[in-house]
Homo-oligomer: A and B are copies of this chain.
Amino acid sequence: MVLARDIFKEFKEHSVSEFFRKNASMLGYTGKIRSLTTVVHEGVTNAIDAAEEAGTLPSVFVAIRSIDKDSNHYKVVIEDNASGIPDEFIPRVFGRMLAGTKLHRNVQNRGQQGIGISGGVMFTQATSGKPAKIITSTGDDDGISYNEVMIDVNKNRGKIMDHKRLEGDWRGTRVEFEVKEVIYQRSRYGPYNYLRMTAIANPHVQITFEEPDGSLTVFERATEQIPDEPKPIPPHPAGMRADGLLELSKNTRSKSVGTFLVNDLSRFSRNKLKKIENMVDVNLDKDPSKLTWDEAESLVSAFRKMDFMAPPTKGLRPIGEENIERGLRQILHPDFACAVTRSPEVYHGGIPFIVETGLAYGGDAGNRRGSEEGGLEIIRFANRAPLIFNQGGCALTSAAKDIDWRRYEVNTERTPLTLFINIVSTHVPYTSAGKQSVAEEPEVYEEVRQAIMEAARKLRRFLRKKIRRKERRQRANLFEKYLPIISQKAADLVGENPPEVEPLIKEIAGVESDEKK
C-alpha cells in the first residue's frame, strides 16, 4: 500500500505553455499536412483580425518556401497591412499564451483565445529549434522593428533573442516561421484550399499566395467595403446565468444594481428595470459588487420570464446573403445559389450569435472527391474562418446530417450540392483550443438546423420547378413529334388539308420559356 505523502511528493504545477507543448494536438498540430495548415491558419487569422481592428482593408501576403524538401523543412511567411505592434508587446503577443486584446471583450473576432499565434512560435521552435522572426512597424518615425522571439515554456514568457531597428517607411506586421516535419500539398486539407475557402467567406480580403514551387495566386477582393469595426456587445439577458451576472457585477463601473443592469446588459431598458423591481426581492439600489449568489439567481430567473428584444446586430458582422451568394457563384459557378442570414439568437451565458447558410447546386458544387459524381459537400466557417478539420465532431456537421434531405428533393449521395455554413459570434463555443469544430450547444445546433432548412426550402422551389420544367419539356417534345403526324392522319381521314399545328407547339414552348425567366 502506498501512502499519500509518497504520492504527493510528485505534485507539481505547470504553465499553460507546458500544457500545450505536451498536447500540441489540441492546437491542431497533428500530422504533417495539417500542422502546416494550422501555422498558416493562425497567421492569417491574426492578420485579417489585425487589419480589421485597424480599420484597414486587409491585404495579406502568404508564402511557403521550401528550405529542404527532403527533410520537410519549410519557411512560412505571413504579412499584413495592419497597425503594427509596439515593441513592448511583442514578447507577450508571440511568446505568451492566454494573452491578447480579444479574450475579455465581447467582440466578434476570428481569434478569441490568445493562444494561436504563440502556438505557431512554439511549433516553430519545437520542430526547427529556430526563433520566430517578427518584423513590424506602427508607421511612426521610428522605422521598422526586427525581432527574433522564442517562448520560455516553463514560465509561459516570450524571450527576445535578437532585436534591431531597420530603416523604412511601412506599416504592418510580417512573421516568419521556419518549421520542420511538415508537408506541403495542394489537397483539401492543405494551405491552398484553406486560403481559397478564406477568400469565399471574406470577399473584402485580398490574399496573395506564393507556393513552394514559386507559383503565385492572387485571390482578388470582390468588394472594397471595409467591414465595420468590431464592437463589444454586452451580454444579453436571455440565457444569462447567475455566475456570469455575478462576474460582470464585480467588474462594473455602475454604482447600483439597477444602473448596472441597464448599462452592462444588452436590451435592458429603464422599462425592464421597472418591471423587474416587482418580480424580485433584490434591492436594486445596492452596490452591484455586493450582489449575492441568491440575488443573482433570482434576477436571472426573472430574466427568463421576461421578453427581450433580440440581441443587437451592430456588433456582429455576418457576411450577408448577397456576399455569400456572390462568393458561391464566383468559386463554384453553380446553376442555382441561395443564402440565408438569420436573425441573432442567444446561447447560454447570454452570448449572441448569427447563423448563415448558403446552398450551391450544379456547376462545380458538390462533393467530388474520388470518383463520385456530386453528393452533398459541407463547408464550415466560424467568424468567416474556414473549419477544415474535425468535421465529424462538429455541431454544424451534425445539424446538416440530421436534416431529412429527401424532403428537399436532395439525394445526399448524388445531388451536386455544396452547403455553406457560417457561425458568427462574440464567442464561438469551440470544442477545442484548435478551433476546428463547434460544440453541440443546443441553441446553436437548433439554429443551424433552422438556417439549413430555410435555405433548403429555397432550393426545393428551384428543384421542383426544374422537375416540372423537365416534365413539361418532355410533354412539349412529345407534341412536337406527334402532333404533325396526328393532324396529317386526321386530315387524311376526313380528306382535308391538315391544320396549322406550329402555333400550338410554339404556345406550349412559350409557356416553358416564360417560366424560365
Query: Measuring CB to CB, which residues of chain A are less than 8 angstroms from any residue of chain B?
Result: 1-5, 7-8, 10-16, 18-19, 22-23, 25-26, 30-31, 34, 53-56, 83-86, 89, 92-93, 96, 98-101, 103-105, 113-114, 125-127, 129, 138, 181, 229, 241-243, 246, 293-294, 296-297, 348, 390-394, 397-398, 427, 429-434, 437, 439-442
Contact = CB atoms under 8 A, between A and B. Distances in A.
Most chain B beta-carbon contacts within 10 A, residue among A101, A105, A296, A391: A101
A85 B241 contact: no
A45 B15 CA distance: 23
Nearest to A105: B10
A57 to B, nearest CB: 11
21 contacts: A2-B53, A3-B54, A4-B84, A7-B83, A10-B101, A11-B93, A12-B103, A13-B96, A16-B16, A25-B429, A25-B431, A30-B429, A126-B241, A129-B242, A129-B243, A129-B294, A392-B393, A393-B394, A431-B431, A432-B432, A433-B433
Contacts of A85: 4, 8
A125 B11 contact: no
A67 to B, nearest CB: 14
Contacts of A83: 1-4, 7
A92 B434 contact: no
Contacts of A3: 54, 83, 138
A55 B3 CA distance: 9
Q: How many copies does the complex hold?
A: 2
B7 A53 contact: yes
Given A98-B16, A99-B13, A101-B10, A398 B390 contact: no
Given A19-B103, A31-B442, A392-B393, 5 more contacts: A1-B54, A5-B86, A8-B101, A23-B429, A31-B440
A246 B126 CA distance: 10
Contacts of A433: 23, 26, 432-433
B243 A127 contact: yes
Given A3-B138, A31-B441, A430-B23, A98 B15 contact: yes
B138 A11 contact: no
A439 B56 contact: no
A125 B86 contact: no
Contact of A2 (B55, B246, B427, B434): B55
Contacts of A440: 30-31, 34
A441 B25 contact: yes
A4 B437 contact: no
